[in-house]
Amino acid sequence: MRTAVAPATLPYEWYVDPAVLRLEQERIFGRFWQYVGHVGRLSEPGAFTTARAGELPILIVRGRDDELRAFVNVCRHRGFLLCEGDGRRETIQCPYHAWTYDLDGSLRSAPRADSEPGFDRKGISLAQVAVDTWGPFVFVNPDVHADPLRDYLGSLPELLAAAGIDVETLRFHLRAESEPYACNWKVCAENFLECYHCAIAHPSLARAIDVSPSAYELETDGFVSTQVGPPRNGGDGVYDATGPIARGQFHFLFPSTAINVMPGQANLSIGPMIPTGAETTVRFLDYFVGADTDDAWLADFLYLDERVGAEDRVLVERVQRGIRGGGLEGSLLLPDSEQLIAHFQALVAEALSSDGP
Ligand code: FES
Ligand SMILES: [Fe+2]
C-alpha cells in the first residue's frame, strides 16, 4: 500500500528504474568529475589505464608529449571496447579490425582504408573526455567543458591538509576490488553518507571511532560532504587509532567518490561507486599510506576496514531487496543525523532536472 503523502526524499522508483539510470548517466555521470585511479599507473609515455565514468568506458593514456589524455574507450569503427586493464602501448590498436590510433587519439591507420576511395580516415579520432589530477589522484569528466577539477574539489584539499594528510607524499599501497553489489549506486552512496547505523551495524568501527552524535560532525560544502569522528581507545582486536592523524575523515565528492582517512597513522582510501545497471553497483578502493606508516599497523587497519566493508554490503543489498517491490514511495530522513543524505538527494534531483550547459 502506498503512503498518501509523498516523502520529500527521492522516490524509490529512482533506485530501480533503468530509465532513471539512463538519465543519471547523461546528467550526472556525464557531467561531473569522478575518480578513476592513481597517477602511478600512468607514469611513463604510452602507459594506459581503463576505468568507467558511470557506465561509460574510459581509456586514460599518457602521451609521448607527457600529457595525460582520456577518451571514450570505444573504437570509432564499430564500437568495440578498445582496451582492458592497464599496461603500456606505442599505439592503440583495436583488436577487432585493427584500426590503429595514436596516443593522442587520432586514427593513424585502418586496413584497406587507402584502397577504398569512399573512405577518408582524416579527422577521425577517439572521443575525448576531460582528465585532471589532484596529487596522485586521477579524475575524469565526460563533459570536456566542465569547470576544472580544482574548483569542484572546493575545501577538500584544505580539509585533508588540516587533518595531517599530504596527498603529494602518499604512497599507493593496493587496490581493493569488491564483487558487484546487488543494489543501486545511490543506496551505496547514502549508506556511506550517514553513520547513524555505525553503532548498531559496525561494533568494531565504533570501538575505533566515536560515532556518537555529540562527537561525530557532519558538514556539506558544495559537492563535498564530510564526516569527522575522533578516535576511541581501540582495543578488543581493533587497530590502534591513535597517532599523527588525530581524527577520522570521511568525505564524499558528488556524485560518487568516497575518500576515507582513519585516525592513527597516515592513510587514505579513495574510490568510486559505479553503476553497472539500475540495481547493480561495482566499487573499488585505492589505498594510500604515508612514508612512515607501519606494516603491522596497516595490516590491523585493513583487517578492520574489510570487516566494515562486509557489514555494509549486507546492509545495502538488504535495502535494495526492501525497496525494489515498490510498496513505499521513499525514505524518511532524520534532519540532523542524515543531513548529508538530504544534501546528496538534492544534488541528484537538481542534476537530473537540469538540461545542462
Ligand atoms: S571495431 Fe575497431 S576496428 Fe572495427
Ligand atoms: Fe557502514
Quick check: 209 and 241 in contact, CB under 8 A? Answer: yes
**Position 350 confidence tier, pLDDT thresholds 50, 70, 90:** very high
Of 77, 83, 108, the residue with max ligand 1 atoms within 8 A of its CB, to mutate for a pocket test, comes to: 77
CB 12 within 8 A of CB 329: yes
Task: Say whether pLDDT at 330 is over 80.
Answer: yes
What's the CA gap between 208 and 235, in Å, rounded? Answer: 8
| Number of the ligand 1 atom closest to the C-alpha atom of 98 | 3
pLDDT higher than 60, residue 160: yes
**Which pLDDT band holds residue 4 (cuts at 50, 70, 90)?**
very low
Ligand 2 centroid–CA 202 distance in Å is 7
DSSP label of 7:
P
Task: Give me 225's grid cell.
Answer: 560532504
> pLDDT for 34-79, tens place per residue?
999 999 999 999 999 999 999 999 999 999 999 999 999 999 999 9
Asked if the model's pLDDT at residue 3 lies above 50, the reply is no
* Rounded distance between C-alpha atoms, residue 283 and residue 281, angstroms: 7
Task: For 244-282, write each residue's pLDDT tens digit.
Answer: 999 999 999 999 999 999 999 999 999 999 999 999 999
Residue type, 9: T
Distance 357 CA to ligand 2 centre (A): 36
DSSP code, position 352: H
* Ligand 1 atom 3, closest CA: 97
Rounded CA-CA distance 58/278 in Å is 20
**Residue 233: pLDDT over 90:** no
* Whether residue 6 has pLDDT greater than 50: no
For the Cβ of 324 lying below 6 angstroms from any atom of ligand 1, the answer is: no
Distance 69 CA to ligand 1 centre (A): 21
Which grid coordinates belong to 230?
A: 575522533
- 238: confidence class by pLDDT, cuts 50, 70, 90: confident
| 105 Cα–ligand 2 center, Å | 41
Q: Could you tell me the sign of the dihedral formed by the alpha carbons of 7, 12, 14, 17, in that order? A: negative
Q: Which atom of ligand 1 is nearest to the CA of 82?
A: 2
109 lines ligand 1 (CB under 6 A): no
User: Quick check: CB of 95 below 6 Å from ligand 1?
Assistant: no
Band of residue 8 on the pLDDT scale cut at 50, 70, 90: confident
Name the pTM for this structure.
0.95
pLDDT at 135 over 50: yes
- Whole-number Å distance between alpha carbons of 105 and 123: 10
Mean pLDDT of 8-13: 94
List, for residues 98-117, the tens digit of each pLDDT value: 999 999 999 999 999 999 99
Query: Residue range 224-242: average pLDDT?
Result: 83
Which of 72, 78, 81 has most ligand 1 atoms within 8 Å of its beta carbon, as the pocket-test mutant? 78
Model confidence band, residue 234 (pLDDT cutoffs 50, 70, 90): low
Average pLDDT estimate for 191-204: 96
pLDDT of residue 235: 55
Average pLDDT, the chain: 94
Query: Which protein residue has the closest C-alpha to ligand 1 atom 4?
Result: 97
Quick check: 28 pLDDT over 80?
A: yes
Mean pLDDT, rounded, for 315-338: 96
Percent of the chain with pLDDT over 70: 96
**Residue 2: pLDDT over 50:** no
Nearest residue by C-alpha to atom 1 in ligand 1: 78
Answer yes or no: is pLDDT of 186 > 70: yes
